[in-house]
Amino acid sequence: MPELPEVETTRRGISPHVIGHRIERVIIRQRNLRWPISRRLQQSLPGQTVCCVGRRGKYLLLTTAAGTAILHLGMSGSLRIIDAATPAATHEHVDIVLDNGRCLRFKDPRRFGALLWTTRSPAAHWLLSELGPEPLSTGFTGECLYAQSRGRRLAIKSFLMDSKIVAGVGNIYANEALFLAGIHPQRAAGRVSRDRYERLAQAVRAVLRASIREGGTTLRDFINGEGKPGYFRQLLNVYGKTGDPCPHCGQPIRERRIGQRSSFFCPTCQH
DNA sequence: AGAGGTACCTGGCAGC
DNA sequence: TGCTGCCAGGTACCTC
């Protein structure tokens, strides 16, 4: 489900309900996510006040004076703020109960998500320490893409989805950004010019910003902190559009598997 | 070192 | 209607 815009939408949605509130308790119905939720987290969070809800790539960071909860939504995860008394439905694995009678409820049918605890700087955590630049920060440039791609033969789409290269770009937005930049997804990363990488960096920024503005993309079940879907799906150019006319030239959009992921492109506009 | 494949898990859908 | 196989927004880890 969630790529950077969906995680950012979630962050913005939950922040006002969580920041400044004390955590009363943590209810865990299913401990076995991608990694088991630690007893340490369950013991450490109660009594703490959330001072900040941050994001790094697709990771959400709930910061307290005692440490930081690192949360990843995996493929199917969502978070919402609801009344703490609401009975839990299936796959609603964790409640972080707040002092205002509400709770942050984590649902994740496929359990590819994660909830970890660190007492150190989250940036030093092994999950985050290798991440590339934030795509909406000034550290993300066409030049850095160009420099890291020299000599690499893998498909540029797989390169763009590598979190060590840039954080938070998943399958939907990699497809969309490559379309906007006019680059064929299967082109070898090392055979794209500096100028075209500059266009690609701009396209990544543009598509992520536009999606955040629309509250993210809901394909099936993404909801924000208020339980509402995102509307960027209506603005997708190529993702999931096999056979539809290209918005630029009218040629049918093609689909191909690249790196085990469905990829969509216009055979005329992208090369 | 880089590239590619596998595994984790559940649910929805197409096709028979 | 019910079964089977395939697909899905991610990413760590394995092998070649």
Q: pLDDT tens digits, residue range A190-248?
A: 999 999 999 999 999 999 999 999 999 988 878 888 888 899 999 999 999 999 999 99
What is the CB-side half-sphere exposure of residue A13 using CA atoms within 13 A? Answer: 26
Judge whether residue A120 has pLDDT over 80: yes
The pLDDT of residue A222 is 83
Nucleotide B12's nearest residue (CA vs C1') is A220
**Cα separation values, A45 from A52, A84, A265, Å:** 14, 16, 45
The pLDDT of residue A62 is 98
Rounded, the Å distance between the CA of A258 and C1' of B8 is 21
Judge whether residue A122 has pLDDT over 90: yes
Q: Is position A214 annotated as part of the catalytic site?
A: no
The pLDDT of residue A1 is 60
Distance CA A29, CA A26 (A): 10
Percentage of chain A exceeding pLDDT 90? 94
Superfamily of domain A4-124: MutM-like, N-terminal (3.20.190.10)
User: In this structure, are residues A199 and A132 in contact, taking their beta carbons and an 8 Å threshold?
Assistant: no
pTM of the model: 0.97
Q: Which fold has domain A142-265?
A: Helicase, Ruva Protein; domain 3 (1.10.8)
Whole-number mean pLDDT of chain A?
96
Q: Which amino acid is at A240?
A: G
What is the residue extent of each domain of chain A? 4-124, 142-265
In this structure, the dihedral spanned by the alpha carbons of residues A60, A62, A63 and A64, taken in order and rounded to 10 degrees, is -170
Per-residue pLDDT of A165-185, as tens digits, reads: 999 999 999 999 999 999 999
The pLDDT of residue A235 is 94
Per-residue pLDDT of A47-89, as tens digits, reads: 999 999 999 999 999 999 999 999 999 999 999 999 999 999 9
Nucleotide C7's nearest residue (CA vs C1') is A262
Judge whether residue A29 has pLDDT over 70: yes
Judge whether residue A141 has pLDDT over 70: yes
Q: Is position A261 annotated as part of the catalytic site?
A: yes
- The nucleotide whose C1' lies nearest the CA of A260 is B5
